[in-house]
Structure 1
Amino acid sequence: DVTPEWRDKDLAKPEDRVLCPFSGQPLRVKDLLTAVFTPLDTSRDVTVNNTSANERFMCPISRKTLSNAVACAVIRSGSVGHVVCMEAVEQVVKPDMADPFGKAGAKLAPKDIIPLQRGGTGFAGSGVRLEATKYNPAMLSY
């Protein structure tokens, strides 16, 4: 018989609070950050009008169009986080650790730069390394 059987056992009670997937600690609303995306400025650049409909935001530092092919980070500045490309973080922000969105002279801590995980496109070459294993059982006959 291959049908599953009901076993009379107690199920574990689910958690009351939402837990952080990385630390396992309960999330609090005051720990969350509002991500601020900078919309493309169509009035300043002629090439912006030729972009696809999916490209609607840009990096406020480098003015590079953000897409799922561009590595991004959130820079925590006060209670909000500005979404910028990692290229701008490496070239502009990290050398001085100065907050480009805060008060003049404000410094950033390494924890204030939060890297974002890129989304896939569904295409096989989206940057995620997958490894397939092949299993071929042999049929023996006697």
Structure 2
Amino acid sequence: MTRHSKNCTASSVYSYHEKKKDAKASGYGSLNLRYGKDGVKDFDCCSLSLHPCRDPVVTPDGYLFDKESILEYIITKKNEVSRKMKEYEKQCKKEQNELAELGEAEQRSQVEKFLNTETAVASPSQAAQGEKSKTANISGPSVSNMVAGRDKKLPSFWIPSLTPGNKETKLKKPDKTVFCPISGKPLKAKDLIPVKFTLADASGSSSSLEGKRERYKCPVTGDILRNNIPCAVLKPTGDVVTMECVKLIQKDMIHPLTGNQLKESDIIELQKGGTGFASANDQLTGKKARPVLQA
């Protein structure tokens, strides 16, 4: 068959180019996209809002956050845990009530069994009368679904948890620990350390830093801080210095600005920002799952 268009529809081979073209047009298949330089945050931006921090704080693992954003995150998580805890307590109370009802039902059954045994040793007339009543009950049982406590156990076809054949999902006791949204480690508000950046232009204001590329500098060496320059936070004062400066500090462990003694735990390596190079990022590719085209 002669080729009558750009893609021969009579071919038995579904080429990679045709597959990608059809996936782009129809929206099927997984979408992989490599981040560009503008798709990753800078070193001085909040890990949640992705904007330059107005009141920066850092976690013990070196992740930078805006104080307002991270406190709002912690409060939201605590409110969520509180809501889940109330639901869990409600479920536990319901289970206790069900166990109490089962205990009462078992006690009633034992009492009825005892009364039936006493009736068997009663007078023959009473026994015959009792047998007659039993045969009457057996011959004509009630078909109503509102007797013998069945009115409280009616299934509901509209509520999923009460649908016949569907067991109610049991909730687990929620964990009250708040985890860092980036590292996944436990995080507390008291662990956040204030950070102080040194402006590259001392005459400028911190309110107009959004569009500037060279915003901060090392207060010791004067080097401009960028995404490809490793930095660290000095915990006692919150100053951000370069790792080259840290190598000099580690010789005598004295703060270069205040002269106080430092410990190894007082030096927190700041997580670097992203760049357009794969070697400077842990993950530079985003993947989005879309509907799968099945044959």
TM-score, shorter chain, exceeding 0.5: yes
Aligned counterpart, 1:98: 254
CA 1:7–1:74: 2 relative to 1, 3 Å: farther
State the alpha-carbon separation in 2 of the partners of residues 24 and 128 from structure 1: 20
What's 1:82 paired with? 239
What is the Cα deviation at residue 16 of structure 1? 3.3
In structure 2, give the amino acid aligned to 1:27: K
Could you give the per-residue CA deviations for residues 62-91 of structure 1, whole angstroms, max 9, x where no partner exists? 1000011110000112xx41111111111x
- Distance in 2 (alpha carbons) for counterparts of 1:27 and 1:57: 28
Question: Is the 8 Å Cα contact of residues 120 and 126 (structure 1) preserved in structure 2?
Answer: no
1:26/1:70 CA distance change after superposition, 3 Å: closer
Partner residue, 1:40: 200
Contact 2:201-2:215 within 8 A present in 1 as well? no
Per-residue deviation, 1:98: 0.3
- 2:200 is matched by which residue type in structure 1? L
What residue number does 2:134 align with? none
Code of the aligned partner of 2:201: D
Per-residue deviation, residues 77-122 of structure 1 (Å, max 9, x unmatched): 2xx41111111111x21111001233x3x2100000000111112x
Q: Distance in 1 between matches of 2:178 and 2:193?
A: 16
Number of positions where the alignment pairs a residue of Structure 1 with one of Structure 2: 112
Contact 2:197/2:239 (<8 A) preserved:
yes
TM-score between both structures, scaled by the size of structure 2: 0.33
* Stretches of structure 2 lacking an aligned partner (at least 5 in a row): 1-165, 204-210, 286-295
Residue number among 44, 55, 67 corresponding to 2:226 in the alignment: 67
Letter in 1 for 2:250: K
* Mapped pair 1:110 → 2:264: yes
Quote the Cα distance in structure 2 between the aligned partners of 1:15 and 1:87.
41
In the alignment, structure 1 residue 57 sits paired with structure 2 residue 57: no
Between Structure 1 and Structure 2, which shows a larger proportion of strand residues? 1
CA distance in 2, matches of 1:12, 1:101: 51
Post-superposition offset of 1:23:
9.2
Larger of the two Rg values belongs to structure: 2
Letter in 2 for 1:62: T
* Pair 1:27 & 2:180 matched: no
Residues 16/39 of structure 1: CA separation in 2 closer, same or farther (3 Å cut): same
Q: What one-letter code is carried by the residue in structure 2 that aligns with 1:95?
A: K
Equivalents in 1 of 2:244, 2:169: separation in Å?
Answer: 53
What residue identity is the alignment partner of 1:60? Answer: P
Q: Which letter does structure 2 place at the counterpart of 1:70?
A: I
| C-alpha separation in 2, matches of 1:36 and 1:87 | 18
1:128 matched to 2:281? The reply is yes
Decide which structure has greater helix share: 2
